[in-house]
Chain A
Amino acid sequence: MHGLVNRSIQVFISDTYGVSTWQDVALHAGLDFTEFEGMLRYKQAYTPQILDAAAAVLNRPRAEIMEDFGTFLVSHPGFEAVRRLLRFGGEDFVDFLQSLDDLDDRVRLAVSDLHLPKLRLRSHAEGQFSLICDAQIAGFGHVMMGVLRTMADDYGALALLDHSGTADGAEIVSIALVENDFAEGRSFELGARVG
């Protein structure tokens, strides 16, 4: 998996649980190093290894950790770029949901060798969606739960999320939009300078 993914997980665990916990996780995962570099490529196996190790070291279900990671990615000030890049996807939460179909392509425009799992949004009855997540890494749906929950807040939308399990190798997140324009939301200026 791309270093950016592993590095983000490292920063998430170090930031949330402390650097020594991260070092325990790295050790438990059988890594012979503790620092991932964002702009290097790593063996595919590392990502599930560190996630499993984190679940063991923290004594928490892996799904929960992955959801927290999703939340961290789009809410931590150090990852403001991620939130902003996602906000480019749409004007409101529904528009944003629809943009998720292109997310992997968008990401590859920026970093050509960063392959994210494919996402597909299905629209059902009014305000009902399901997000189908091709899960190269088990639990990716949970990461998306954390991302969507935070982005709904960011847009000022009120949505209920539910991980509806796995079908045909894909994880499904059900989204019930209660109100698209529920609260003020966080501001997003197209031209803001970041970093």
Chain B
Amino acid sequence: MMSQTDTGALDVLCPMHLILGRTGHIQHAGPTLRKMYADRSLVGQRFLDVFEVRHPSAMASMSDLHDVVQTKLRLKMRAAPHTSLKGIMVPLSGPGAADQVIVNLSFGISILDGVRDFALTNADFAATDLAIEMLYLVEAKTAAMEASYRLNTRLQGAKIAAEEQAYTDTLTGLKNRRALDTVLTRLLERRDSFAVMQIDLDYFKTVNDTLGHAAGDHVLQNVARIMVDETRGSDLVARVGGDEFTVVLPEVANEDILRRVGRRIIDRLEEPMPFQGSDCKISASIGTVWIQPGQNPRMEDLLDDADVALYASKHAGRATQTLYHPELREAANASDAPKRKRDETSA
């Protein structure tokens, strides 16, 4: 038998150890194991009745156990909460050892649950055990991650808010519909003279369908560059839908200027745009409204007029610009033109 002093020392060094006799019955249990089995005594019970050895192999008898000395064991408590444990077994030697073995157990990765399930404290672990540091780390990491998640959530919210307030179309760098509405509202309030060009790309859908969305995006970026090139710095170019653009031109002297600008834009858009060995070919239809000084239309009517003119261009075989005049509307009504829907797409 082990002496009282020896088990006392083992209780301090390995508070989760067991001493088994020749028959595999528990003769002594360390203090932490005793705490875990508070309501029933471990001493006198058969080790394999209390613990299920799962690896390296299932075991039924004490002789099986003797084959696995000094091998890492994976075990499970047979009683609830069926905690997984790690263990190692060494035979006792010396006079009076009488085929005894020591099994030292540890929680391994189940430490978090183990500590909760059995309400363990610092005192239940050996002073040299890293379990407390491990628990500390888990908790500290959780707190730090929590702080990081909070920051990420706030940044995400700020990003969405910024996007909602943005005036820029992210794909093309042009202004978006929100910016267009702001500028038009201001111009209308000041009763300024200005022109609005509603530009719809022709054959763009074909590019998208045959060459893919990457080609489509490439075309849209080219289109944006061309429109900015062919207008003045004081003009506003906005992408208001998938392939719909609006140009606002303040202080236009005469209709000829509008015709020239429109023509230049269409001509340049019709130049083939190479993309990965293919040529993307598009054109554009334009509907233009020129607001004379003193006219004071509502924004809704203004954009509707531009749509009517645009429809006339489409009707005339595309690749052309139409300047709005009221007769167009009568013609459009007569031919029961499909009314284009605004506001469904946003840039």
For A84, list chain B residues within 8 Å (CB).
139
The distance in angstroms between the C-alpha atoms of A189 and B116, with both chains bound, is: 8
- Measured CB to CB, the nearest residue on chain B to A85 is B140
Main secondary structure, interface of B, reads helix
- Supposing A40-B151, A190-B132 touch, asked if A110 and B121 sit within 8 A by C-beta, the answer is no
Give the interface of B toward A (CB within 8 A). 112, 115-117, 119-123, 132-133, 135-137, 139-144, 146-148, 150-151, 154
User: Is A106 an interface position by the 8 A CB rule?
Assistant: yes
7 A–B contacts from the bound complex (CB under 8 Å): A37-B151, A37-B154, A85-B140, A110-B144, A190-B132, A190-B135, A195-B146
User: Is A38 an interface position by the 8 A CB rule?
Assistant: yes
Complex contact A195–B115 (CB within 8 A): no
Complex contact B151–A38 (CB within 8 A): yes
- Measured CB to CB, the nearest residue on chain A to B122 is A91
User: Is A81 an interface position by the 8 A CB rule?
Assistant: yes
Complex contact A4–B142 (CB within 8 A): no
Q: How far is the CB of A151 from chain B (nearest CB, A)?
A: 15
Partner of A85, one of B112, B117, B143, B147: B143
- Supposing A91-B123, A190-B120, A190-B132 touch, asked if A195 and B143 sit within 8 A by C-beta, the answer is yes
For B137, list chain A residues within 8 Å (CB).
109-110
The distance in angstroms between the C-alpha atoms of A193 and B150, with both chains bound, is: 19
For A182, list chain B residues within 8 Å (CB).
none
Main secondary structure, interface of A, reads loop
For A91, list chain B residues within 8 Å (CB).
121-123
For B140, list chain A residues within 8 Å (CB).
81, 85, 106-107, 109-111
Q: How far is the CB of B9 from chain A (nearest CB, A)?
A: 21
For B122, list chain A residues within 8 Å (CB).
90-91, 190
Partner of A194, one of B133, B139, B148: B139
A-B Cβ contacts below 8 A, count = 65
The distance in angstroms between the C-alpha atoms of A111 and B143, with both chains bound, is: 10
- Supposing A39-B151, A40-B151 touch, asked if A106 and B143 sit within 8 A by C-beta, the answer is no
Give the interface of A toward B (CB within 8 A). 4, 37-40, 81, 84-85, 88, 90-91, 106-107, 109-111, 189-195
Partner of B119, one of A38, A88, A191: A191
Known pairs A37-B151, A191-B112. 20 more at Cβ < 8 A? A39-B147, A39-B148, A81-B143, A85-B139, A85-B140, A88-B135, A90-B122, A91-B122, A110-B141, A110-B144, A190-B115, A190-B121, A190-B122, A191-B116, A191-B117, A191-B119, A191-B120, A191-B135, A193-B116, A194-B143
Most buried by A among B133, B135, B144, B154: B144
- Supposing A84-B139, A88-B132, A88-B139 touch, asked if A38 and B120 sit within 8 A by C-beta, the answer is no
Q: How far is the CB of A105 from chain B (nearest CB, A)?
A: 11
The distance in angstroms between the C-alpha atoms of A38 and B143, with both chains bound, is: 11
Complex contact B144–A85 (CB within 8 A): no
Complex contact B143–A110 (CB within 8 A): yes
